[in-house]
Amino acid sequence: MMYTAIEIERNQGVATVWMNRPQMHNAFDPVLIAELHNAFLALGDDPAVRVVVLAGRGKSFSAGADLGWMKRAATFSEAENLRDAQELAEMLHVLAECPKPTIARVHGAALGGGVGLTTACDIALASTDAVFAMSEVRFGITPATVSPYVVRAMGARQATRYFQTAERIRAERALAIGLVHEVVAPDELDACVAAMVTVLGQGGPRAQAEAKELVRLVEQQEISAGIIAETARRIASLRVTDEATEGLAAFLEKRPASWCK
């Protein structure tokens, strides 16, 4: 398949999926979401692939939703917003359910959906310049579609704080609350990823896939079709509210929202 928003590099059983919209800080739009979805499905089914690494070209891992996409979504009906949200939710689920070990290589901004990608991967390795945030409440919406993976990573207590405050989370803090597994200097990030790939290469492919299933079984919090549908419904219903309209308008106009004191 020909891709325009991503690139896939293969090297001795390792497939690195590069989000390739550097000028947009790898922000999500329908094309990027669809290409990531297709890539994760294909790589999960490819017997030649042992490990999948997700990375971003340019200054950022992923800055969340593309501004142009957000503008268009503000004019959509709830049904249209639901379709958009479902596509994002399904892509994250395909990543989370990939039978191959997955690694997020995180640098720079990882915002909104970028946090979702980070936590949907099995292992998250970040550089010290990485910054995370779930800023949705400032736009009058919630981080609904990413929530199953973020809550699974950091726990309900931490998620309750950061979903409401939209605070920026520096890399060391992200490590402390379980959002990422390791933090290294920017010039050490590739070596850290390579070392993790080497470790993963020592495990049996079938055993690793079964190990992922085992965690889900023990955890007893499977991210089901019902959860995916419900999170998509929640974000779609909020996107068409007056509060969301005001939140986006305030952001675009670079002014405080009406609820700011």
155 φ, ψ (degrees, to nearest 5): 90, 160
- List, in order, residues 6 or more apart from 15 with CB less than 8 Å away: 8, 9, 43, 46, 49, 51, 52, 53
136, 213, 230, 243: the catalytic one is 136
Q: What is the residue type of 246?
A: E
CA distance 207 to 45: 16
For residue 39, CA distances in Å to 35, 42, 238 come to 6, 5, 30
Tokens of 145: 């579609």
In sequence order, the β-bridge partners of residue 14 are: 11, 51
Query: Is there a contact between 200 and 51 (Cβ–Cβ < 8 Å)?
Result: yes
> Distance between terminal CA atoms of the chain?
50
Relative orientation angle of helices 225-239 and 78-96, to the nearest 10 degrees: 140
CA nearest to 39, candidates 71, 79, 76, 7: 7
Identify the sign of the CA torsion 82, 86, 87, 92: positive
DSSP structural state of residue 20:
-
Tokens of 94: 């395909």
136 classed as catalytic? yes
Distance of CA 84 to the CA centre of its chain: 15
Q: Please identify every residue annotated as catalytic.
A: 136
